[in-house]
Structure 1
Amino acid sequence: MERYLDHVVRRDLQHKMVFLTGPRQVGKTTLSQQLVAELGGQYLNHDVAQDRNLIVNQRWNPRAPLLVLDEIHKMRDWKAWLKGVYDGKPPAQQLLVTGSARLDTFRQGGESLAGRFFGWRLHPLSVREWCTQTGASPDAALTHLLERGGFPEPCLADSQEQAERWRRQYFDGLVRDDVLEFSRIQEVNAIRLFAQLLRQRVGSPLSLASIARDLGVAPTTLKKYLDILEALYIVFVVRPWHDNIARAVLQTPKVYFFDTGLVEGDDGIRFENLVATALLKHVQWQHDAQGREVQLHYIRTKDGAEVDFAISEKNQLTHLIECKLGDDRPHRALKRFAEQHPRTAAVQVVRDLRHSFETQGIEIRRADEWLVALDA
């Protein structure tokens, strides 16, 4: 399966080293191995003992047109090591570094890699990408992704049962194996329970203090656990928008899962999570491909008025987005914020809607048509 980043990674490899990150099993290895097959080269995974020996001793083929190094952030002082590899490699050799954890999380090395790489984040399949891959209609693609989530294996599985078996193993493996990169073995069960609780709190402002009381741990401990789940691309955090950035960071976040199939909730919550993943992919594509300073937020006031999502660029609101399953009446809070920010596009995305239309300055859009038009 050709992914939406194939062509840009191939292009950027001609100029610099490329970092490709994203959730485990989102397709990084497949993309890398397809490039190796196309360009010729060598793929080495630090998690594999034999490959790890070759990596540590730098005994790969120096004439390989493309060298792929996977999971090397697990090495001590990997940044300084990688800087030396990049600076000393043959001029014609291309270098691709992949990982299932956020490489900007790791601080083992003091050496800077600035100016030596392009960074890309690979996301699960979106409505747009599934339509491109399969020729499905936008409505069929949206229905499929709501049922299966956006990861390639469950999307392509022959049955829903196979998809659910994959998901159970995937979730258990993430918590059991990957969390140990960041935490002590004694904390794995606590993080597993915390992650399980988050599956039931998608889309709601997250009170770590309340959950901490339920679990009998300190809120600072849960904050560390949330950072771990973020770093491993299991969840992502959407923070409230405020024109004062410091205040926005301190306010209550909302949490969503990269895999919509992990969400435990009604159809409305699953739909909101899918829209969140699509918007994050859209925003990060604009950041990675175009260098734009775009961010994803939500809006909530002290009197309880809330809009599901907002997009800002250079700290200026550009879009307001509200998700609804079937309600085509303009959402009260969306109308309120649209009036306060008249230069901001206000959209109510409706899952079950016969026709898109505009009223009172708000676009009421069919979800399938709107999602397929996003950038990635």
Structure 2
Amino acid sequence: MKRLYLKIIEEHFASNSTQALFLSGPRQVGKTTIAKEFLKECLYTKYLNWDNLDHRQLILQGPAAIMQGLPFGAILKEKPLICFDEIHKYKEWKSFLKGFIDTYREEVKILVTGSARLHVFNKGGESLMGRYFLYRVHPLSLREIITPNLRDTLIGQPVESRKADFNKLLTFGGFPDPFIRGEQPYYRKWQRLRHQQFFQGDIRELSNIHELSLLEVLAALIRHQAGQLSNLTSLARKVRVSDQTIRRWISVFESMYFCFTLRPWSNNITRSLLKEPKIYLWDWSQVEDLGQRNENFIAAHLLKAIHFWNDSGMGDFELYFLKTKDQQEVDFLITKQGKPWVMLEVKSSSEEPLSPHLLFFQKQLHVPHVFQVAMDLPYVEKDCFSLEKPTIVPAKTFLSQLV
């Protein structure tokens, strides 16, 4: 299955950019497969995976050893490509990459993948300012299943998907292996193995957290209350650790793409909630309650679109929810350049009337695009973003216009 991220890599290096390209995202989301697909298109390549002992030894020998065997310095049709896979597991990975990029960025194309931590370059430490571009790789979305082609516009025209693909995506999630197989026995085995690798491998290796059994309790609680307001003090009490520990553990989960947190939008909102966040999973298929899964499904699609728009330089977008102290609530608000742009409520059934809360918040925020997304409505070939008033729209249409 072709991924849109392959197109991103192709366009990045076709531009003769000297910046390295970083692909960061959850375990088994397809980063290595995408990287290897691009390697097949290149004339001169070297692939180094930190999990491979021989590759690890070569990395530890340093940049000069890595470059041996590559025809750099000659007149070539294209620059050689070096791919570092899972390099974040190397304790000194930040200083290693900085030195390598500074030394060889003019001679080779550099592709880096990792299932955690690559985003920390945005937060200080070893500075790679101007040396790389980061793209966050998400699970498959409805639009990507329909077509992996890139476009220059934020919103695309609606495109119909196969009904079976929509249902399979909702049931098995967007991670490529279980989605492509589409079989419950395989899905359950895959989930069990991924759970073990995440807690016994990634968490143990990268976080220095030793209370793995308590972390698993926290993960189960997050799955159970996905999309609900999360009282961190209550979570801490249930797991029997401090509030500070819960915050740190959730931050670790976020850095390893287990979950993501939304905050309430409070600007220009009377009696807005200011503190309690909502937490969603990157893998919505783990959410058992169907209503919560539907909401998480939409949340993950919105986050993917926002990350893609931001990473592509299309603007500055953020995702929030809306809630007041007197229980007026809307599931999602997308801001564009700091201003409300898209507001939507998720409903399982199209028989539910348009939420009055959408109208309430639209009057306060003057949001241009307001939708109630119904999961059960059939696809309609209508541009949702051309609508001029709050409208109930099919999820199959709305999502096909995103990324």
TM over 0.5: yes
CA contact (8 A) 1:73 1:106 kept: no
Change over 3 Å in CA distance of 1:354–1:12 after alignment to 2: closer
Task: Give the 5 Å matches for 1:88-237.
Answer: 88-89=103-104, 91-105=106-120, 110-132=125-147, 137-157=161-181, 159-184=183-208, 186-237=210-261
Distance of 1:190 and 1:106 partners within structure 2? 29
Distance of 1:282 and 1:343 partners within structure 2? 18
Distance of 1:231 and 1:138 partners within structure 2? 34
Q: Shift of the alpha carbon at 1:182?
A: 4.0
Gaps in structure 2 of 5+ consecutive residues:
72-79, 149-158
Which shows bigger deviation, 310-319 or 360-369?
360-369
1:4 is aligned to 4
CA contact (8 A) 2:378 2:396 kept: no
1:25 is aligned to 28
Identity of aligned residues (%): 36
- Give the aligned length: 372
Task: Give the 5 Å matches for 1:1-376.
Answer: 1-13=1-13, 14-15=16-17, 16-39=19-42, 40-58=44-62, 59-62=65-68, 63=70, 65-89=80-104, 91-105=106-120, 110-132=125-147, 137-157=161-181, 159-184=183-208, 186-243=210-267, 251-265=275-289, 267-326=290-349, 327-353=351-377, 361-374=389-402, 376=403
Q: Shift of the alpha carbon at 1:77?
A: 3.6
Q: Shift of the alpha carbon at 1:239?
A: 1.2
Change over 3 Å in CA distance of 1:239–1:272 after alignment to 2: same
Change over 3 Å in CA distance of 1:161–1:256 after alignment to 2: same
Q: Shift of the alpha carbon at 1:231?
A: 0.4
Gaps in structure 1 of 5+ consecutive residues:
none
| Cα offsets for 1:118-164 (capped at 9, x unmatched) | 1101100001111226x982533221111110000000115221112
TM-score (norm 1): 0.92
Report SS of the residue matched to 1:112: coil
Distance of 1:229 and 1:141 partners within structure 2? 29
Q: Shift of the alpha carbon at 1:290?
A: 2.3
| Cα offsets for 1:37-84 (capped at 9, x unmatched) | 211411111122221111111322441611001222233342222121
Change over 3 Å in CA distance of 1:97–1:248 after alignment to 2: farther
CA contact (8 A) 1:206 1:254 kept: yes
Which shows bigger deviation, 67-76 or 361-370?
67-76
TM-score (norm 2): 0.86
> What RMSD over aligned residues (CA atoms) do the two structures have, in Å?
2.6
Q: Shift of the alpha carbon at 1:328?
A: 4.2
**What amino acid maps onto 2:176 in structure 1?**
P
CA contact (8 A) 1:21 1:98 kept: yes
Report SS of the residue matched to 1:8: helix
CA contact (8 A) 2:20 2:112 kept: yes
CA contact (8 A) 1:322 1:349 kept: yes
